[in-house]
Amino acid sequence: MNQNMITASVTMGQLQKKLDTISHNVANVNTHGFKRRDVQFQDLLFQQLNNQTVQQQETGRNTPFGLRVGSGAKVAQTNIRMEQGALLQTGRTLDVAFGEPNFLFEIVSLDGERRFTREGAFYFTPNPNNDDEVFLVTGKGDYVMSETGQAITIPAKHEALKIEPNGQILVTTKDENNIDTEQEIGRLQIVRATKPQLLQNIGDNYFTFPNLNELGLTFDDVIENASANQGKLIQGSLESSNVDLGKELSELILTQRAYQFNTRSISMADQMMGLVNTIRG
């Protein structure tokens, strides 16, 4: 095939990937705790073409001998952007938002794979084995992990529930004398991603890490447990998506135009091949 067509069609395929990422960002503009991704390009391999083999005749050259023929562009990396999203006040007891970037809640794993989320919209679900207790779960129904690695259980009949900025959960219950007592029932497991570019989106607003053994890493290299004064949890609020619609749409226009430019390259290459075919018209 014609080199022009290869270059342009390969690049269009890669531009499509950028359009896909932009669409995903825009689709999640209202997803709480969503972190956008940013696509950057890179040029593809260059091929050395020695079109003039008699180098003595190549007088007046400024560059090394031969031509370097490129083959288009590809997506270099899709960076996750961890910057803080705007806080949205909901007033709901079980909504908690991080006030600082890079912190994540951990979810109790059922299959051994550690999962994390930035979305702090929690719910209660009854404990089938104990009517006096409820579990704290995410919107999808997965158990939120406590500092000790267990699911968080909360007395079903409580008067108030308070989540401190460091993740401590304080529950107020009435004792037999009808007097309110406040007790700490645990602390949310909060981690800070030190290498956020390794986070993988697995849907349902969850993140996971790739196989760290293959990369020669351990979990200690990529996350650290939040200390007592970190995280800055805010109860009664949710973090909105950090997608900037204006920015995404300008990128969309730019990418679409780049796509169109490459289609024009293909149609020109096609017309040139047509001209070759009609030399002997």
Partner 1 sequence: MMIRGFYTSAAGMISQQRRQEMLTNNLANANTPGYKADSASFRAFPNLLIKAIGVDNRPLGKSHFVGELSTGAYLQERTLNFRQGDIHETGNNTDIALLQGVVPLNEDTGRPGGLFFTVENQTGDVRYTRNGNFTIDGQGYLTTSEGFYVLDPQGTRIHVGNEEFQLTSEGLLSNGVQINVAYVQDPNQLVKEGNGLLRYEGAQAVNTAIGNPNITYQLRQGFIERSNVDASQTMTDMMAAYRSFEANQKILQAYDRSLEKAANEIGRLG
Contact residues toward partner 1 (CB under 8 A) are: 3-4, 7-8, 10-11, 15, 18, 38, 40-46, 51-52, 57-58, 60-64, 67-73, 76-77, 79, 81, 83, 194-198, 215-217, 221, 254-255, 257-258, 261-262, 264-265, 268-269, 271-272, 275-276, 278-281
Distance CA 123, CA 135 (A): 8
Taking the least distance from each CB to partner 1, the nearer of 159 and 221 is 221
Task: Evaluate the CA torsion angle 188, 193, 196, 200 in order and state its sign.
Answer: negative
Rg (CA), the chain: 28
Minimum distance, C-beta of residue 190 to partner 1, in the bound complex (Å): 18
CA torsion 243-247-250-251 (nearest 10°) is -70
Minimum distance, C-beta of residue 230 to partner 1, in the bound complex (Å): 14
Minimum distance, C-beta of residue 95 to partner 1, in the bound complex (Å): 27
Taking the least distance from each CB to partner 1, the nearer of 3 and 166 is 3
C-alpha dist (Å) from residue 36 to 80, 206, 237, 259, 273: 6, 13, 20, 22, 42
Q: Which amino acid is at 191?
A: V
- At a CB cut-off of 8 Å and minimum separation 6, what does 194 contact? 102, 221, 222, 223, 224
Task: Evaluate the CA torsion angle 226, 232, 235, 239 in order and state its sign.
Answer: negative
Taking the least distance from each CB to partner 1, the nearer of 45 and 202 is 45
| β-pair type (73-80, 37-43) | antiparallel
Minimum distance, C-beta of residue 64 to partner 1, in the bound complex (Å): 4
Minimum distance, C-beta of residue 165 to partner 1, in the bound complex (Å): 21
> Do residues 81 and 242 make contact, with C-beta atoms less than 8 angstroms apart?
yes
Minimum distance, C-beta of residue 216 to partner 1, in the bound complex (Å): 6
Taking the least distance from each CB to partner 1, the nearer of 128 and 246 is 246
- At a CB cut-off of 8 Å and minimum separation 6, what does 240 contact? 30, 32, 85, 86, 87, 88
Taking the least distance from each CB to partner 1, the nearer of 172 and 240 is 240
Taking the least distance from each CB to partner 1, the nearer of 61 and 162 is 61
Taking the least distance from each CB to partner 1, the nearer of 9 and 109 is 9
Distance CA 67, CA 220 (A): 49
Taking the least distance from each CB to partner 1, the nearer of 157 and 280 is 280
Minimum distance, C-beta of residue 106 to partner 1, in the bound complex (Å): 19
Minimum distance, C-beta of residue 111 to partner 1, in the bound complex (Å): 24
CA nearest neighbour of 104 among 118, 115, 114, 94: 118
Alpha-helical segments (H) within 29-90: none
